[in-house]
Structure 1
Amino acid sequence: MAFQNSRDKCNAIAIVSIIALFCAAPFLLSKGSTLELNQPLMYKKNYIADVQPDHTFRNQTIWADVSHSPKPIHLQNILPNAYLHPDPTRPYNESVLVFLHNPKSGGTTVKTCMVKMSQAEGDDRRPTLVAGPRAIDVPNELINGAVSVNKYYMGTSAFGMCRFVGGRACSYFTMVREPYDRVVSHYYFCRSGGPTPMSCDGTLEDFARHTCNLIFFQMIHRYLCRHEIPGVDASPWRCRDVGGGLHTVEQRGRQLDYILENMDKIFAVVGITEEFETSLRLLENTFGRPFHSMCHADHANTGTYEQDEAKANEKGERLRVHAEAKERLVKNEELRKCFHEDIIIYNKMKEIFEKQKKSFFGAGL
């Protein structure tokens, strides 16, 4: 393109600049609705293939182009951790509550509690279950205006629901358990006939390969599976099977880093199965709803091996079977890599839980 004079050249540059700004506007505006990952896109990350038995890394790093990594989690209307970021003006007691159910971690008790609270409050609607096929149906119904926003959402696929509540204040909370313990418990629960979408006809190791990093995939599957694989059930159980091919080691590391860096902004409260009573007290104090006073007596199915664990009747025998099964998983190098994200996430949640306790009991609540 030839220019007659310097004025034409300036005009052309101005037009190109305006077009470029117009094209970039949606991206620039969208940045305000999420907590963005650190730049640059060339991201330094420890290589996951070097996971050690204690889930630390050797001193090997790589530089990877992660320009096409999954999008960050939207945090615009999500209330941050009530104890790490205290602010009396935040409407936790009026927010939409979304419970991410991590199986065999006391979640059944929490879901039952939410139903009881809803009934006691005189609500016509029960808490909305977000799991299996409903993981797609529930958001679509809200988007299409087929239903109004509920007060409670819960389920294994509930993470992400705060995006669909019309901008209302929204609080995520969860209950997590040490991942090796959770998988062993889940396996024997399934073997005893307990309801689960996973098959447990094979060995414990086979079962662990499909459930080892469930927390990690629960937190990212809505973005990696539902939106990028048309026709795939949004349940993390099924997305777990296809998830390994969805992202590279570098992308997984980037997602894990993002979760760890923003976990205190994602979950209003984190509960730990090993301290279930205290977890219920934290929930009750945060949301002003009777999680502990109404439901602590219902906690009967966590920390045990239900019915079938080698048909053992003695608690000591159950603990022995548990310990031996867990040791098999810990010693398995392949599975150790598979458990890596969930171990790191659990340790971070446990760290947050301890800070919550310190704040809660320090205030004499």
Structure 2
Amino acid sequence: MISHRMIRKLRRVLFWLVMFLWISTIVCYWSYVAVSYVRSSQDSVHSDVVKRDSPVTEAPEVKCKPVECNCETSKREEKEVDQPIKPATEKPPMPKTNYPLVELKSYIPNFYTKLPDSEKHRVNQNTSIVFVHGQKASATMKGCLRLVQKSLPYAAAAPEVVYDDIVAQFYRDHAGPSTSLGKFYYGEATFGVCELSHGHKPCAYFTVLREPYERAASLYDFCRTEGNLKERICNLWNFKSISVTDYAKALGSHVFAHILYNPKICTGRFDNRVNEALHAVGKADKIDMSRRAFCWYRHKAFIDHHLTKEEKDKLLNYVLENLQNWFAVIGIFEEFAVSLELIENAFAAPFKKCSMWKRNPFEEKRTQQQRNDRTSFKTQLMSDRKVYEALYYDLRIYDEAMKIFHLQKAKFFSR
């Protein structure tokens, strides 16, 4: 029989045995946790080493091959990112049409939207400046150029006029590669003059455009009251009998024809085709066939008679795509003062002095009735579908010119 003393001893043994097991369990648990932590740390370090030393499966985007990329390349690429992006030099391809289109190669692209800052030094006192004239949009620019020429701080030849009667002689005089251009040119046949620079000096075009309906109404009003025989664009019609809508349809897209200017159309090269077009189109346009058609109208008749609508649309798209390439500055008649600022800044010449030329004596002496007539003429034009079709190409060009004008303003005023 077990005594009470033995029972107490057994209890003590059991107690210490349980305590030993409990402590052992705790020690084993924390030992396991510690070992696991050490192993996971080693695995993490090892995986990092593997990632650094093993090949990269997804290469970062680089402009050179991985074996060629070095510190110098990276630094050079970082610098290039900060440089202004130069405009694309690729020109839209010339459309294939039945029109003898001249490919222009000598010009300075738009000073504000196309020409990089690093190349703006090309526009300097040696640059020839050619004004592409738009009827009833910028006649005052002729006097303006004379004023600018006299105000230049350096010597420059007087502005030269290029118009119908001297086109053939002008191009003959400048045909040789040894000839060079003067400083200023203006007139009815100037688009293409820069091709005569023969690479001797930079040459830039600029123009000032007017809203086509307003321009047609203004020109009709002027021709019937003031300039019937004085202005070349007036003397093909009898303004006592022609209506404003018939005149606008005959006038058509004047700027479009002017930009497509080819001197050979006016100097005898295409006389057979031009005369055919004049007889076909002139009768419908109610022109005085006894008078020699001026250069611009010869282009207009050629386009209307010999080209399909599809061909004219191709030429229009070609013009729209190239406006910023061909013209260093595009001004807008309705914003004449700002246009002068843009032109002056681009050419470093005092064009703002010409703000006085916006005051047209013909406009100042008009009566209120005559101003009301002008408004009536424009209303008639805008309500005639045939007039819209006749002015369509100029309307598209004017819309694009307005977009370019606002881009120029934004660049100019954000300096």
TM-based fold match above 0.5? yes
* Residue of 201, 204, 207 corresponding to 2:244: 204
1:121-178, Cα deviation, whole Å (9 max, x unpaired): 4757321111222233222210147964211111121111111111231111000000
Q: Which residue of 1 aligns with 2:205?
A: 172
The residue that corresponds to 1:103 in the other structure is 135
Structure 1 pair 200/150, CA: closer, same or farther in 2 (3 Å)?
farther
* Contact preservation (8 Å) 1:221, 1:234: no
Contact 1:99 1:174 in 2 (8 A): yes
Q: Name the % identity.
A: 27
Secondary structure of the corresponding residue to residue 301 of structure 2: helix
- In the other structure, the counterpart of 1:7 is none
Going from structure 1 to structure 2, the CA distance change for 1:240 and 1:214 (only over 3 Å counts) comes to same
Aligned-partner residue type, residue 182 of structure 1 = R
| TM-score for the superposition, normalised by structure 2 | 0.65
In structure 1, distance between residues paired with 2:387 and 2:371? 22
The change in CA–CA distance for 1:257 and 1:126 in structure 2 (over 3 A counts) is: same
1:191-222: per-residue Cα shift (whole Å, max 9, x none)? 12223212352221232123230000001131
- Residue ranges of structure 1 left out of the alignment (5+ in a row): 1-32, 42-65
Which structure 2 residues correspond to residues 1-365 of structure 1 after superposition, within 5 A?
Answer: 35-37=91-93, 66=96, 68-71=98-101, 73-74=103-104, 76-88=105-117, 89-90=119-120, 91-93=122-124, 94-105=126-137, 107-121=138-152, 123=155, 125-144=157-176, 148-167=180-199, 168-194=201-227, 195-197=230-232, 198=234, 199-201=237-239, 202-222=242-262, 225-226=265-266, 229-230=270-271, 235-292=295-352, 294-301=353-360, 305=363, 307=365, 313-314=367-368, 317-363=369-415
Structure number with greater Rg is: 2
> Aligned partners of 2:413, 2:238: CA distance in 1, in Å?
42
Q: Which amino acid letter does the alignment assign opposite residue 409 of structure 2?
A: K
Work out the CA distance in 2 between the residues paired with 1:351 and 1:73: 24
**Unaligned stretches of 5+ residues in structure 2:** 1-88, 275-292
**Alpha-carbon distance in structure 2 between the residues aligned to 1:211 and 1:305:** 22
Amino acid at match of 1:189: F
Number of aligned residue pairs: give it.
295
Instruction: Give the alignment's TM-score, normalised by structure 1.
Output: 0.73
Give the secondary-structure state (helix, strand or coil) at the position aligned to 1:171: strand
Q: Relative to 1, partners in 2 of residues 1:274 and 1:67: Cα closer, same or farther, differing over 3 Å?
A: closer
CA RMSD of aligned residues (A): 2.7
CA contact (8 A) 1:210 1:241 kept: no
Q: Is residue 70–residue 223 contact of structure 1 (8 Å, CA) maintained in 2? A: no
Deviations along 1:313-351, whole A, 9 cap, x unmatched? 23xx44432222112112222221110000000010011
Which is richer in strand?
A: 1
Query: Structure 2: which amino acid aligns with 1:81?
Result: N
1:262 and 1:110 map into 2 onto residues whose CA distance is 23
Report if the CA contact (8 A) 1:184-1:204 is conserved: yes
